[in-house]
């Protein structure tokens, strides 16, 4: 399971949940779906903007950074792209009620991120119309479910790192607290996507070479994926996608991209991935050990 550790100052602490004497918070008593346990894990960490964030009236105008406020507008536009992304995810996982149930949590929180970022930007003087881009749904064909999960794992980790870095550098306390909270959500989203990717890989050995291929392509400098987030960019206009790439370049350490991908896919596959060449090496070894015939589709970006 991928765990995110954030180093930025903690915002106002959330009120710890009260014990549940009625037994609602005991998902392992039936365990029909993995969603049961994941739902309660999310609920225990769920935060409220009213309860856990400073009020918008506390925004310190003297501490507002115009560049960071521009970034909030870009982030709000990006979070809005979760709407068309959700439509495609529901299509990919239309035969898996467990993953579909968990996606309801992911979707609700991503749309909430958009709303809260937009509310902050408006309170700071920005035009709300700037943050409501037209929805885009490209023709993606029939992506493999395991590849879709893997791409979203990396995308959520990268987004968590971005929000965390921006929060740590933000001098305006209301925005710093909001960015911190969103970073925590994105880290938990990475955990959820990783959970289901590991489940699919465990159930279908043929999925492991696909995972390795996704990681290999991501680490290839010629693809440009180390400076992007395809899980979101597929649904963005070109200007927003380029602006987001600029935020990643400014706020995250490019030298940590490759190690991050190697660690993430090492956890997904259970393999000791230490360098990009390990992706192809373990894929060949895995196919031989499992009697799998290399498929042409697995040699391309799924």
- pLDDT digit string (tens) for 127-153? 999 999 888 776 667 889 999 999 999
Q: Summarize pLDDT for 222-239 with one digit per residue, the tens.
A: 665 555 555 556 778 888
Q: What pLDDT shows up at residue 4?
A: 39
The pTM of the full predicted model, rounded to 2 decimals, is 0.85
Q: Is the pLDDT score of 12 beyond 50?
A: no
Q: Give the pLDDT confidence of 244-267 residue by residue, as tens digits.
A: 989 999 998 878 888 988 999 999
DSSP of 189-257, one letter per residue?
HHHHHHHHHHHHHHH-TTHHHHHHHHHHHHH-TTT-GGG--HHHHTTS-HHHHHHHHHHHHHHS-GGGH
Residue 67 lies in a domain: yes
Whether residue 7 is predicted with pLDDT greater than 80 in this model: the reply is no
Residue 165 falls inside a structural domain: yes
Whether the CB-CB separation of 178 and 120 falls below 8 Å is answered with yes
Mean pLDDT across the stretch 183-204? 94
Domain assignment present for residue 36? The answer is no
Q: Which of 18-22, 106-110, 158-162 has the lowest mean pLDDT?
A: 18-22
Is 32 part of any domain? no
Any domain includes 1: no
Tell me: pLDDT of 2 over 60: no
Q: How far apart are CA 176 and CA 185, in angstroms?
A: 15
Alpha carbon distance 60, 47 (integer Å) = 23
**Residue 44, domain member (yes or no):** no
Tell whether 42 is covered by a domain.
no
Our count of domains for the chain comes to 1
Identify whether 45 is part of a domain: no
Print the domain residue range for 197.
Answer: 63-135+143-299
What is the structure's pLDDT at 301?
40
């Amino acid at each position: 399971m991928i765990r995110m550790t954030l180093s930025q100052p903690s915002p106002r602490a959330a009120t710890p949940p009260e014990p549940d004497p009625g037994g609602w918070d005991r998902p392992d008593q039936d365990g029909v779906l993995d969603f049961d346990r994941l739902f309660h894990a999310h609920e225990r960490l769920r935060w409220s903007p009213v309860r856990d964030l400073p009020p918008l009236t506390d925004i310190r105008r003297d501490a507002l950074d115009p560049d960071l406020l521009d970034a909030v507008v870009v982030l709000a536009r990006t979070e809005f792209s979760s709407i068309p992304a959700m439509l495609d995810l529901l299509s990919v996982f239309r035969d898996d009620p467990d993953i579909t149930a968990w996606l309801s949590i992911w979707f609700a929180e991503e749309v909430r991120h958009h709303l809260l970022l937009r509310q902050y930007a408006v309170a700071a003087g920005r035009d709300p119309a700037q943050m409501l881009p037209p929805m885009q749904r490209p023709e993606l064909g029939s992506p493999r479910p395991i590849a879709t999960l893997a791409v979203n794992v990396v995308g959520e980790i990268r987004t968590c790192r971005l929000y965390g870095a921006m929060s740590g550098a933000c001098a305006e306390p209301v925005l710093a607290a909001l960015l911190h909270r969103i970073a925590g959500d994105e880290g938990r989203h990475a955990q959820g996507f990783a959970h289901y990717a590991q489940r699919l890989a465990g159930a279908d050995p043929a999925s492991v070479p696909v995972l390795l291929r996704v990681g290999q392509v991501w680490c290839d400098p010629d693809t440009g994926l180390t400076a992007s987030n395809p899980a979101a960019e597929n649904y963005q206009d070109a200007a927003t996608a380029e602006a987001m790439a600029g935020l990643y370049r400014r706020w995250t350490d490019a030298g940590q991209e490759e190690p991050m991908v190697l660690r993430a896919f090492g956890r997904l596959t259970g393999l000791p991935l230490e360098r990009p060449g390990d992706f192809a090496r373990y894929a060949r070894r895995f196919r031989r050990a499992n009697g799998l015939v290399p498929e042409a589709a697995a040699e391309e970006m799924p």
